[in-house]
């Protein structure tokens, strides 16, 4: 019983130390990122890591980026690139970064928020042939974020669409 108590105490100290480290990294990285980008949020991944979410909007481009506070800022760790197609549509061009860390879900929520802030009711995109090896994961991801997914299995491509109703 005493051993269990010591293990729990050690685990709590490690968690606290990790959180303190992430908070220090957050402070330092936030200053650096804010020099070049609009910081739009601080969030937490499914693994309880702190992340800084920031964006850039130039001409018709919108890029939502994320930096994980586990490592020093040296460019984004995850990004969603989109284009304002017209006054009603944001088109996702590419999603870049590691899978299964929760980064995509965080960035997608901020992309939807950015669209709504700009009175854009529609976000759409394509599923390309190059994505076909992980199409099941993409379907799950987009449906989780309330996108309609249409696939052309024969040609290994598809379309995604999210509408604010």
- 145 close to 108: Cβ distance less than 8 angstroms: yes
Written as six digits, the tokens of 135 are 């199409």
Average pLDDT for residues 75-79, to the nearest whole number? 96
pLDDT value at residue 6 = 40
Distance CA 146, CA 163 (A): 8
Show me where the domains of the chain are located: 2-163
Confidence of residue 50 (pLDDT cuts 50, 70, 90): very high
| pTM attached to this predicted model | 0.87
* pLDDT for residue 165 is more than 90: no
2-163 has which CATH code? Answer: 3.40.630.30
Confidence of residue 67 (pLDDT cuts 50, 70, 90): very high
Kindly report, residue by residue over 109-146, the tens digit of the pLDDT: 999 999 999 999 999 999 999 999 999 999 999 999 99
Average pLDDT for residues 30-47, to the nearest whole number? 95
């Amino acid at each position: 019983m005493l051993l269990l108590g010591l293990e729990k105490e050690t685990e709590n100290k490690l968690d606290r130390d990790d959180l303190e480290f992430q908070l220090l990294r957050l402070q330092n990285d936030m200053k650096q990122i804010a020099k070049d980008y609009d910081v739009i949020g601080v969030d937490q991944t499914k693994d309880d890591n702190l992340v800084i979410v920031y964006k850039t909007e130039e001409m018709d481009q919108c890029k939502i980026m994320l930096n994980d506070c586990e490592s020093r800022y040296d460019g984004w760790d995850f990004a969603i690139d989109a284009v304002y197609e017209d006054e009603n549509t944001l088109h996702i061009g590419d999603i870049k970064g590691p899978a299964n860390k929760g980064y995509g879900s965080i960035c997608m929520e901020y992309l939807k928020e950015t669209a709504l802030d700009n009175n854009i009711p529609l976000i759409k995109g394509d599923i390309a042939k190059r994505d076909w090896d992980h199409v099941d994961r993409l379907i799950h991801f987009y449906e989780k974020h309330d996108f309609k997914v249409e696939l052309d299995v024969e040609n290994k491509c598809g379309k995604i669409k999210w509408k604010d109703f």
